[in-house]
Amino acid sequence: MSTNKTIKKLLDDQVMTQEQFDILFESKDTWYTENNGEQDWSHAQDRIEQFNETFIYILTTLNTQHKIDLQYIHFPPLTFKNFSKKVTKYITFNHAHFHGQANFSHIEFLDFTTFNSCIFYERADFGFVKFKKECVFFKAIFKKGAYFDGVKFNDDSNFGLVEFHNLITFQNTLFDKLFDLQNIKITKLDLTNARFDANNLLGISAYDNSSEHGKILTKENFSNKETARLIKAHLEMQNNITESNKYFTLEQELYLNELKDPNFTEPNRHQTIITLTLNKYISNFGTDWLRSLLALIIMGYLFIIGYMGFDSLGWLFDDKDKMITHFITSHYIPYSLSMIGVFGSFYLYTLTYQDRDWLWIAGMYLIWSVIIVSTHSLHPWDFSSYVVQITNPIAAFKDVELYKGIEFYATIVRITIAVMIYQLIVAFRNNTRRS
């Protein structure tokens, strides 16, 4: 079992008693009861008072040394300003366990400060703390809310590999130097009005209590669009286009949520909702070219069903008079629907990349379509050529005969195809641009 060698030496030198040593490092799990998620420490007040007296003694004793070593201590509820409002020396809380609420608000840490591998079981409040030198929370775990609002980090701050199981906020926080959130796991992040220039924001994932590996971030992991926008903007400054696209998508999702709020006021709100919603489902806000391509193909099959319903377009077949009857009885409708099912299942998979069940659905639709196509003598590529003709922008906009007598329908087709091709181009460009 690991121990605090500095405080152990105080015990060995008889500077402190065994009872004082034990009360610092014993687990505090039996000091409180829990009811509906709320802790009750009332029956351990005498033990807490004894702990506080020992802690004051340790702080006073260690303050004469070059480093205040508080590693591996198990803390009951702690309000640090009751013991000290300004820490002038290098202080370390590495591997400490904070069993109750940990309140470090308004403390000044003037030297190097570390909370590596600490576990905060309850709310951790670092509001308006001043870290004059580097501070490190590497591999710390925050099981409840963590609040760093109004904090001033005058030197590097390292939160690498930290797990935030609940809300983490950095509202109005100033980072003068490196802000390192590499490979953290979050549940909900709030960076409203945070100011930082140098940063490492790679590998952020969503906390998953069922796995040691994080999940893909969603809009639920951000308190507002400002948080996603800040991360996106700094990734763009670093020319990290792939990562910035992810946060742009999240930013737009959060913006769409804001617009849907009845209390949210913005000019042309409803028009913006329609535009963003179409943008989302066609190309994932201009970032997913595969979704755009699949949507274009699906609309092509839908348009061909409508197109072939007009008698005036019977010239597509050898026998114009029998076009409708031929169309209905030759399995073209089920063939078209089956192809819509195939491409539609892959399209739905692009909406939920984490849900691999869509691959099985796509496979079933594919088998169904093969069976239907095999029952008809016409080769499926012959029918697919009609779809290509409908979705071909050159034919759609230049071939007058193609839409003769159904100009209104032609207008709908042309606008839709133009929008989808534009979305496809934008999405492809956003995935290949270098800056």
DSSP tag of 222:
B
For 109-119, the pLDDT digits (tens) are: 999 999 999 99
Mean pLDDT of the 401-410 span:
72
Mean pLDDT of the 125-130 span:
97
What pTM, to 2 d.p., does this model score?
0.82
With a cut of 50, say whether residue 317 has pLDDT above it: no
- Proportion of the chain in helix, strand, coil states, percent, rounded to 5: 50, 15, 35
Do the strands 124-125 and 141-142 form a parallel or antiparallel pair, or are they unpaired?
unpaired
Mean pLDDT of the 227-244 span:
88
pLDDT above 70 as % of the chain? 79
**Numbers of helices and strands, H then E, in the chain:** 13, 28
Mean pLDDT of the 183-205 span:
88
Picking from 13-22, 187-196, 249-258, 414-423, which range would have the lowest pLDDT averaged per residue? Answer: 414-423
Q: How confident is the model at residue 205 (pLDDT cuts 50, 70, 90)?
A: confident
Closest by CA position to 342, among listed 300, 284, 303: 300
pLDDT above 90 as % of the chain? 54
Q: Are residues 153 and 181 in contact, defined by beta-carbon separation less than 8 angstroms?
A: no
| Predicted local distance difference test score (pLDDT) of residue 46 | 95
For 75-108, the pLDDT digits (tens) are: 999 999 999 999 999 999 999 999 999 999 999 9
Chain mean pLDDT for the chain? 84
| Predicted local distance difference test score (pLDDT) of residue 276 | 93
Going by C-beta distance under 8 Å and a sequence separation of 6 or more, which residues neighbour residue 270? none
Order the strands of the 205-206 sheet from edge to edge.
74-75, 97-98, 119-120, 141-142, 163-164, 185-186, 205-206
DSSP tag of 215:
B
Joined tokens for residue 209: 């209590």
Helices 380-391, 289-307: axis angle to 10 degrees equals 100
Domain ranges, ordered by start, for the chain? 5-216, 289-432
Mean pLDDT of the 169-186 span:
93
Order the strands of the 67-69 sheet from edge to edge.
67-69, 90-92, 113-114, 135-136, 157-158, 179-180, 199-200
| Predicted local distance difference test score (pLDDT) of residue 358 | 57
